[in-house]
Structure 1
Amino acid sequence: MALLRKALAWLSVLVICLFGLLICVARPFNPNNNRVLGRAIAVTGRWILGLQRPVTGLEYMPQDRPVVIIANHQHNDDLFLMGDLMPPRTVTVGKAILGWIPFFGQVFWLGGNVMLNRARSRKAVALMKATSHAITNENKSLWVFVEGTRSHGQGLGRFKKGAFHTAVAAQVPLVMICAESYRDDTEGRWGQRTPVRVRVLPAIETRGLTADDVPRLVADCHRQMAAAIEAMAAPQ
């Protein structure tokens, strides 16, 4: 039952993206395409999986100003877990290889998202810095899975610095989103998934900071997110 639910959830992504192409072609590179499709994919996927997602701290997510959002990344199912948490006019960062996925890759590109080749780290950081101009001049927000790879529920990994350079260059707040550690195959009755909690942490202002402050900013955010994930793992 669980495998069937999972297969149907990912099939729904392709179907939603197929119809989403109509939206994206009608208004190409509009960042709100991502919000519409993210919500449709997440809500549909959680319903198919029988996955509950209690979320706290939504009041810390600004809806009326650009931000850089950093989140931990455990499994591909994070798309269902957090895809509907994007504020307006948000673009995301993903690997360049995503562009080759049928339908999904096309809507990802037409959403104006940032596609990185992480093997070329210097160019990746330069591109992230350049993204700061879109944040300030086009009133966009940026979502980054800050570890740069999936942890498979094995704890918070090291952070890539690109998102922090972007936030500092644009002088916008950093918002941290933490999902508790989970297995993507954990199931309960009738194949329904065990609930996964998500917590949004208070924003960190970057106004007045420079590139020299990035290492400290990275360490502070890592410490806060690790503490939040550990706290969610404690018995309630």
Structure 2
Amino acid sequence: MRIRAFFAWSYCALASCLGFLVCLMRPFNANNNCVNGWLFARGGRSCLGMRVDVEGREHLDFAGPRVVIANHQHNEDVFVLGDILPPRTVVVGKSSLRWLPLFGQMLWLGGNVLINRRHRGKAIAAIQATRKALTEQRKSIWIFPEGTRNHGGELLPFKKGAFHAAIAAGVPISMVCVSRYQGSAGHGANGNPVRVKILPPVATDGMSSNDVPQLMSACYEHMREAIAELNHYLPAPDAA
């Protein structure tokens, strides 16, 4: 398992080089992330021997912008989710990623929104950039609303940013739910495939900022129930 993980992350260095070149040839192109996500996911899964089963892919088949939220378990999420990134989608992540050699520059040239949560002024500017991407540039936004990795445990409480952005732009929210898997080796628990379920979108038409708590709570419960269903037939964490 460690050997597979070594090769997977070594491959990531190569994929970062290729992704950087793609972005350098067409900087800030709206579809750079789809190309690079495909590179990371397909190659990384091959190195790990990982299988991913996706249910409900049609719920990401859309023409207009929306906010996509997903549970965040491990760094290996890029292998699980990279190739289901919808067209014209940018990712909201932490600003420290920009300093990773090549990978960080690839993220920046992909037009992704990198937020410094410790600096209020920069965080507000990033939120404004997110709204601009949704409303003016007609891009979709991918956010991990937990704000950090849960390492395959219980779904962590959501932060409000994704829901404020969706309501402000009047766009729907799509929910991507991923079953528990072993991050240390990148495999599904006990060799089972990693299961992904994409839920039907939730509309935000007519909502205001006062509706954020209720919307956030509803999405949290939808995702928690779906993840529990995906995990039902997996071994207990100790057994894995």
TM range (shorter): over 0.9
Question: Equivalent residue for 2:127?
Answer: 128
Equivalent residue for 2:170?
Answer: 171
Query: Are 1:129 and 1:162, in contact at CA under 8 Å, matched by a contact in 2?
Result: no
Distance 1:187 1:116, change over 3 A: closer
Work out the percentage of aligned pairs sharing the same amino acid: 46
- Corresponding residue SS for 1:220: helix
Q: Secondary structure at the match of 1:92?
A: strand
Moved beyond 6 Å, runs of 4+:
none
Secondary structure of the structure 2 residue equivalent to 1:223? helix
Contact 2:131 2:169 in 1 (8 A): yes
Partner of residue 15, structure 2: 16
| Letter of the 1:53 counterpart | V
Structure 2: stretches of 5+ with no match in the other structure: 235-240
Query: How far apart, CA to CA, are the structure 1 residues paired with 2:23 and 2:36?
Result: 10
Q: 2:193 aligned with 1:203, yes or no?
A: no
- The Cα shift of 1:119 comes to 2.3
* 2:217 partner SS: helix
- Does structure 2 retain, via aligned residues, the 8 Å contact 1:128–1:163? no
The TM-score normalised by the length of structure 2 is 0.91
What amino acid sits opposite 1:34 in the alignment?
N
Give the aligned residue type for 2:51: Q
The answer to whether 1:40 aligns with 2:39 is: yes
Deviations 1:171-213 (Å, cap 9, x if unpaired)?
011000000122223688xxx9541101000000011111111
Deviation at 1:62, TM superposition (A): 3.2
Amino acid in the other structure paired with 1:220: A
1:235 aligns with 2:233: yes
Classify 1:211/1:130 alpha carbon distance in 2 versus 1 (closer, same or farther; 3 Å): farther
Is it true that 1:152 corresponds to 2:182 in the alignment?
no
Give the unaligned 5+ runs of structure 1.
none
For the aligned residues, what is the CA RMSD?
Answer: 1.8
Give the Cα–Cα distance (whole angstroms) in 2 for the partners of residues 32 and 187 of structure 1. Answer: 26
Inter-partner Cα distance in structure 2 for 1:24 and 1:176: 27
Q: How does 1:55-70 map to 2 (within 5 A)?
A: 55-70=54-69
Partner Cα distance (2:146, 2:156) in 1: 6
| Structure 2 SS opposite 1:184 | coil
User: Hey, what does 1:97 align to over in structure 2?
Assistant: 96
What's the CA shift string for 1:19-69, capped at 9, x where partnerless? Answer: 222211111111211110001100111111000101101111133111100
TM-score by length of 1: 0.93
- One-letter code aligned to 1:99: R
Quote how far apart the aligned CAs of 1:118 are: 2.0
CA distance in 2, matches of 1:31, 1:218: 27
Aligned residues: 232
In 1, the alpha carbon distance for the partners of 2:144 and 2:124 equals 14
Please name the residue that 1:50 is paired with: 49
Tell me the distance in 2 between the aligned counterparts of 1:88 and 1:166: 19
Residue 125 of structure 1 and its aligned partner are, at CA, apart by 5.2
Asked whether the equivalents of residues 50 and 193 of structure 1 are also in contact (C-alpha less than 8 Å), the reply is no
